[in-house]
Amino acid sequence: MNNIYEKAMLGIFVIALLLVLYAMYDTWYVFDHANDDSLLAYKPNGVNAAELADSPILDDMVGWITVKDTNIDYPIMQGDDNSQYLNLDPYGNYSLSGSIFLDSRNSGDFTDQYSIIYGHHMEYGTMFGALDEFLNKEYLNSHKTGELLVGRDGKEVYGLELFYAMKTDAKETMVFDPEKYEDLRQFLETQGFTSDNRILCLSTCAGEASSERTVVFAYILEN
C-alpha cells in the first residue's frame, strides 16, 4: 500500500509541476508577444516604400500610434469586426495579447470626427496597459503628446494631444458607438474641453473579468 501511495503522490507532484511550468511558459509567451520589438522595424517613419512592400505585417494595418515616453508604439490594425484582432497579432499569428486595432465601424483613414482604438491591458505598461497611468492627472499632463501615422506607408502624419482619461462601462454607447459622437462632444464640454479637432479614443480593460474600461481621449492635430 505504501508503494502505491508513494507512486500516486509522485504522479500528483509531477502533474502539479508540469502545470506550474506550463503556466510560467504561457505567461512568458504572452509577455514576449506583447513586447515584440520586431514590429518597430516596419514603422513607416523613415522607411522607404520598397521595404514597406516586403513588410510581413498584414495589409489590415491602417496606421501607427505612438505616445511619447510610454510603451505605446504599435501598428494599428482594422478587421472586418471588432473580434478579429483580439487574439491575432499584426503578422496574422494567434496571440493572447492580440493587436492594437481600430473599431471596424470607423473609417480606416481616420477622417471620422471620432475614432476608437482598442488594445489589451497587459502588464508592465505594454500594449494598452499603459493607459492606467493616465488616470493620474499629473501623469496625463506630463505625457500629453503623441503621433498618429495614417496608412500603411504613414503618408499622413498627425500630432496627438491627450487631454482626458476616465473609467466607464463597456456598454456606454456615448463612448463606444462612433455614431454617438455628438453626445460625447457634449459630455466633454461639461468637463471643460471644447475643440473642433477630431477625437481619438484609446480603450482597454480596467481589470480582469470586469465590464469596466479605461479610456483616454486625444485630439488629432493637423500639422
Question: How many helices and strands, by DSSP H and E, does the chain display?
Answer: 5, 8
Cell of 87: 487574439
Cell of 117: 482604438
Cell of 171: 456598454
201 is catalytic: no
Kindly calculate the radius of gyration of the chain based on its CA atoms and give it in whole angstroms. Answer: 21
**164 and 216 Cβ atoms separated by less than 8 Å:** yes
- Give the β-pairing of 100-102 and 73-77: parallel
Cell of 118: 482598442
Cell of 38: 520586431
Length of the chain: 223
Q: Where are the alpha helices (DSSP H) in 35-143?
A: 49-53, 137-142
The sign one gets for the Cα dihedral 160, 166, 171, 177 is negative
As a whole number of angstroms, the distance between CA 81 and CA 62 comes to 14
Angle at 58 between CA 157 and CA 66, to 5 degrees: 35
Active-site position among 205, 206, 215, 216: 205
Question: What is the set of active-site residues?
Answer: 205
